[in-house]
Chain A
Amino acid sequence: MNEYAKSLFLLLLVVMSLFLTYQLWYGQKPTELTVEDVYERVVFEQPRPLEDAIAPSRIVADIDDANYVFQKGEQNYDDLWSHLSSLMKDLDKAAFVDQSSPDEEAVNCLTFYFQTSLPVGGELPWFPETVDLEVDKVKLYCLVESSQAIDNEDDPNVQEETIVNNLDDQDETNEPDQSNDKELTEEDSEEDSEMEDSKQEVTKWLVIKGSDVGTEMSVLLTEELTGLAKEDLEQFRGRLQNIPTNDLAAYHSLTEDMLSEQIDRNIQLRNPIYIPKEPFFINHLTLKPEKLVKEALLKTFFVDYNMALVIEERDGHVIYTDGEKGLRLTDVGLEYSNPRHEEGQATMSYHDALLNIINLISNHGGWPDGLQLKNLELSRRAGYSFYQAEWVMYHEGYPLYADHKTRISFNDLGLFDYTRSLFIVENDGIEESMVEANDQNNVEEESDIENEEAVEEEEGILIAEWNEALHEAIKLYDGEAALDRTSLRLESFNLQYVVTGSLSFPRGEPVWSIKLNGKEFLLKVGSLEQISEEDML
C-alpha cells in the first residue's frame, strides 16, 4: 500500500479513536440509561419531632386585672410553652394519683388553648404513661400567698386577706373577666402595699381539659405529688410569674354585657374573645412569596418527574401531570391533587394522623419558621373520610393569611389534595417606609401629604376601637342578602394580617377579622375599609 495512504488512514483511525473515546466518556447516555433508576427520594427537610410540631394556638395570661394574649412569634409565647411542655413531659401518672381540684380562692392565671388538640399519655412525650387524651386546654391556677399567710395557713382570716382574685368559673365566655371581681377596700390596699415585699403568687394547680366534654385531669404542683425537683418547680413558677408586660398591649375578655352596652343588638358569644383595652399602632409588613426549588419539589411528588407532562397556562402558571396526579405551580404557591386517592377512608388514629402530616409537609416543601399547625380534623365527604390539616404563618404574634390556604388532605391511600401559599416577612413596613422617606428627602422635597403619610407609616396605623369595627362588620353583615338576621353570633374577633398588594410588592395588611354567623369580614384596622378575597394574594 502506498505509504502516504497508509499514513492518512492511520491518522484517520487515530482521530476516530479519540472521537469514540470522547463520546464514550462524555457523550449522551443511551436511551435506556436515562430512564433507569430515576427514582430519588427527596425530602425538603427532616420531619420535626411531635413536640416541635404542635403548640398552643394562644396563651392567655391574667396579670393585674388585665389579660395578655400571646401567640406564635412572640418571645413570651415560646418561653411559656417551652416551660409548660417541659413540665408536662416530666409529669407521669404518679402525679395524677391524688387529683386535687383548685381551691375556690385560686385564680386561673394562665390558659393554654390548643386549636389542634394536644395528644397526651401513653407513649407520647407529654404526661407519659397516663391515660390517652386529646387536650384542648391547659389551665394553671394561682394562689396569692404572703409569707405571713404562709406562716398562718391555719388562720382563715389571714389567708382571706391575701386572696386577690376569685376562682374563675369554667365558663369559657366569662373566663378571664371574673378577675375583675376583685373587691378590695382602700384599707385592704394599704395593707397590700405594706405586705408587697412578702406577697407571692404561686402557681398551684395544673388542670388539663380534654376535647371530650367533661374529660378533665388536675394535679397539685407540689414536690411531693409531682415528684419533680424543687428547683424545677421553682424555675417553672418563676417564669410564669415574671412575664414582662411593659411593652405589651393589654386585652380584656369580651362579655355579652359589654356587647349589649356598645351594640344595640342581641349578640351571642361563641368562644372566648379577647380585645385590646386601648388602641395601639401596628405596621404594614413587607413580604415576599416563599420560593420553593422546583426540581426538588417535582421529585417529591412524582416518582419519575420525567414522565410528567408540562402544561403552560396562559397566565404563566405551570402544571405538571402524569395523568393521575397534577401539580400546579403559581406565583404564590402550589396546588396538588390526586383524585384517585380521594376515594378512600381515613382509619388511622389522631396521633398517627399528626405524625403523617408532619411528614407530608416536611417532604413537600418543608416547614419554615413561623409556620404553625392551625388544626387537624377528621372530615367526611360523599361517603369517604379524610384528615385535613391547615397551617398558618405567624409574625410577632399575629397570623398572616394569604388568599390560598396552606392545607393538606389525606387518607389511608395517601395525600390527595395540597395547597400551599406562604409569604415570608422581609421587614416591617416601618423600616421600609423610613428608609424610603429618608432617601426621598435627599433628592426632592416631599409634599405635606406625603410627609403625613410617611409619618403615619413611621408610627404605624392606629387601630380602630373594637366597637367601631364590630359596628362596621354588623353593617356589612346586614347589607348581605340571604343571611340570617334574626340572631347574631360572634364567633371570632381577631387582629391579623392578610396578604394584599401586587406580586412584585406583596404586603401584609393588618386587619380586624370578625366572624358573624359563620361569615368572616376583614376590615382594615385603621379605616375599617372592607378587604375582600379578591383583594388578597
Chain B
Amino acid sequence: MNLGRAKTILIFAFIGLNLFLGYQLFWPDFGRLTQVAVTSEELAATEDALNENNYYLDTSLDRAVQTSDFLTVSPYWDTKEDTIKRFEANAIRVDETEDATYYNLPGINAVAHSSGLIQIFFDPGLSLEEELSDLDESDLNDLVEQFLSDEEILPDGALFDYLDREDDDVTVLYYKQMLEDKPIFASQLKAVIQANHLQKVEIYWLKPIERIPEREMEVIPANEALNNLANTLGPSTEERSINDIRLGYFSGEYDAEKWEIPPVWRIELDGKQHHYINAFTGNMEQEKTVSEKLPDEEDN
C-alpha cells in the first residue's frame, strides 16, 4: 500500500476518533452552553405564582445554567487594623470588653468588634455639603465616596451597590465588595446620612482566601429562588416589586478565623429590601443584626 495513502487514512481515522472522544468528554459543557435553566413555560409559571402572592417581577432573569462554588473568607484584618491604628493614635479614651473595643475621639466614637465589624459614629455628624437632598443618587455617591476615600475609610475594591432613602431625612448608601465578576454581599460598607450630615459608617469587609473548585456545582435557577422566596415570605398584603436578582456570595457574620460562604441569589424588593436565597440549597439565609449601642448606652 502507498504509505502516503495509509497516512491519509490514519489521519481521517484519528480525526474521527478524537472527535468522538472530545464529544464524550466535553458534551455536558457543550450542552450547558446551549441549555437553559429556565424555560419560557417555567418563567411564566413563576410569574403567575409570584403575582398570586402580590409579587411582581420587574427585571429580567438570567436563564442560562450557572455553576458556582464555595468561597473561603476571613475578616479583613488589614482594613480593620489600619482603621484602628488611626483611632488608637488619637483616642481620648479606650474601653475594652470581651467582644469589642470602644474608641472615643474628638467628634468620633468608634467600635471595633471582634468579628471584624467596625462602626464609626460621628458626633455631631459631618457636614458634607449644604443641601444633600437636592443631589441625585450619582452625585450623592460621588460626594460620599470622595469623602470616604479622602479619609482612607473606603476599602480597596469597594463598589457602590445601592442607595436607600429610609425616610425624607435619612439616606443610607451601601457599597459592596467584588470578587472577579461576582459580588460578595456579606461584605459591606454602609454610610448613613441624616439631616445633611454623615452620621455613621459601618465597615464589614472580608478577605477572600480561596475558591473551592472541587465543590463547584450547578446552582438552582433564578426562578426557583423566586419561588422559594415567595413561599418563605408568604403572600404580601401590598404589591411588591422585584427589581433585581443576581448571583453572588453571602453568609451571616461569624466571629471566626475563616469560613466558607455559599453562592446566593440576592433578590431586591421595592428597591431597598434584600433577601438572600442559598443558590445550592434554596433556603433563605438569615441576616445577623449587630448591636448599635455604645458602652455608655449599654451601661444604662
Chain A residues close to B by CB (< 8 Å): 1, 3, 6-7, 9-10, 13-14, 16-17, 20-21, 23-24, 27, 30-32, 34-35, 306-307, 309-314, 319, 322-324
Residues in chain A near residue B259, CB distance under 8 A: 309-312, 319
Asked if B285 contacts A314 (CB within 8 A), the reply is no
Q: Which stretch, B16-24, B89-97, B101-109, B289-297, touches the partner chain A?
A: B16-24
Chain B residues close to A by CB (< 8 Å): 3-4, 7-8, 10-11, 14-15, 17-18, 21-22, 24-25, 28-29, 67, 70, 72, 214-218, 251, 254-262, 278, 280-281, 283, 285-286
Asked if B18 contacts A16 (CB within 8 A), the reply is yes
Docked complex Cα distance between A12 and B146 (Å): 57
Q: Nearest residue in A to B72 (C-beta to C-beta)? A: A310
Asked if B18 contacts A13 (CB within 8 A), the reply is yes
Q: With contacts A20-B25, A31-B28, A309-B70 known, is A6 near B258, CB below 8 A?
A: no
Asked if A307 contacts B258 (CB within 8 A), the reply is no
**What are 21 inter-chain pairs, A to B, with CB distance below 8 A?**
A3-B3, A6-B7, A10-B10, A17-B17, A20-B25, A30-B28, A30-B29, A31-B67, A31-B217, A34-B216, A306-B217, A307-B280, A310-B259, A311-B260, A312-B258, A322-B281, A322-B283, A323-B278, A323-B283, A323-B286, A324-B283
Residues in chain B near residue A23, CB distance under 8 A: 25
Residues in chain A near residue B251, CB distance under 8 A: 309
Residue in B4, B11, B24, B28 whose beta carbon sits within 8 Å of that of A13 in the complex: B11
Docked complex Cα distance between A253 and B257 (Å): 54
Q: With contacts A10-B11, A16-B18, A309-B261 known, is A35 near B218, CB below 8 A?
A: yes
List 9 tightest A-B contacts by C-beta distance, closest first. A13-B14, A20-B21, A311-B259, A30-B28, A309-B260, A35-B217, A6-B7, A312-B257, A323-B283
Residues in chain B near residue A16, CB distance under 8 A: 14, 18
Asked if B217 contacts A20 (CB within 8 A), the reply is no
Q: How far is the CB of B206 from chain A (nearest CB, A)?
A: 13
Residues in chain B near residue A30, CB distance under 8 A: 28-29
Docked complex Cα distance between A470 and B28 (Å): 75
Q: How far is the CB of A276 from chain B (nearest CB, A)?
A: 44
Residue in A13, A27, A309 whose beta carbon sits within 8 Å of that of B262 in the complex: A309
Residue in A306, A307, A313 whose beta carbon sits within 8 Å of that of B256 in the complex: A313
Docked complex Cα distance between A319 and B261 (Å): 13
Residue in A1, A20, A27, A323 whose beta carbon sits within 8 Å of that of B285 in the complex: A323
Docked complex Cα distance between A35 and B29 (Å): 15
Q: With contacts A31-B28, A312-B257 known, is A20 near B215, CB below 8 A?
A: no
Q: How far is the CB of A70 from chain B (nearest CB, A)?
A: 47
Q: How far is the CB of B81 from chain A (nearest CB, A)?
A: 16
Residue in A27, A306, A310 whose beta carbon sits within 8 Å of that of B25 in the complex: A27
Seed contacts A34-B217, A306-B217; 14 additional CB < 8 Å A-B pairs: A6-B4, A13-B15, A17-B18, A20-B18, A24-B21, A30-B29, A31-B67, A312-B257, A312-B259, A319-B256, A323-B278, A323-B281, A323-B285, A323-B286
Residues in chain A near residue B281, CB distance under 8 A: 307, 322-324
Q: With contacts A6-B4, A20-B22, A314-B256 known, is A32 near B218, CB below 8 A?
A: yes
Asked if B260 contacts A310 (CB within 8 A), the reply is yes
Residue in B7, B214, B257 whose beta carbon sits within 8 Å of that of A7 in the complex: B7
Q: How far is the CB of A329 from chain B (nearest CB, A)?
A: 14
Residues in chain B near residue A322, CB distance under 8 A: 281, 283
Residue in B7, B24, B216, B262 whose beta carbon sits within 8 Å of that of A24 in the complex: B24
Docked complex Cα distance between A17 and B260 (Å): 39
Docked complex Cα distance between A14 and B10 (Å): 9
Asked if B11 contacts A9 (CB within 8 A), the reply is yes
Docked complex Cα distance between A13 and B9 (Å): 12
Q: Nearest residue in A to B71 (C-beta to C-beta)? A: A309
Residues in chain A near residue B11, CB distance under 8 A: 6, 9-10, 13
Residues in chain A near residue B17, CB distance under 8 A: 13, 17
Q: How far is the CB of B41 from chain A (nearest CB, A)?
A: 22
Docked complex Cα distance between A7 and B6 (Å): 11
Task: Identify which of A3, A17, A23, A313 gathers the most chain B CB atoms within 10 Å of its CB.
Answer: A17
Q: How far is the CB of B186 from chain A (nearest CB, A)?
A: 12
Residues in chain B near residue A309, CB distance under 8 A: 70, 251, 259-262
Docked complex Cα distance between A16 and B218 (Å): 29
Docked complex Cα distance between A399 and B11 (Å): 78
Q: Nearest residue in B to A38 (C-beta to C-beta)? A: B217
Docked complex Cα distance between A397 and B162 (Å): 66
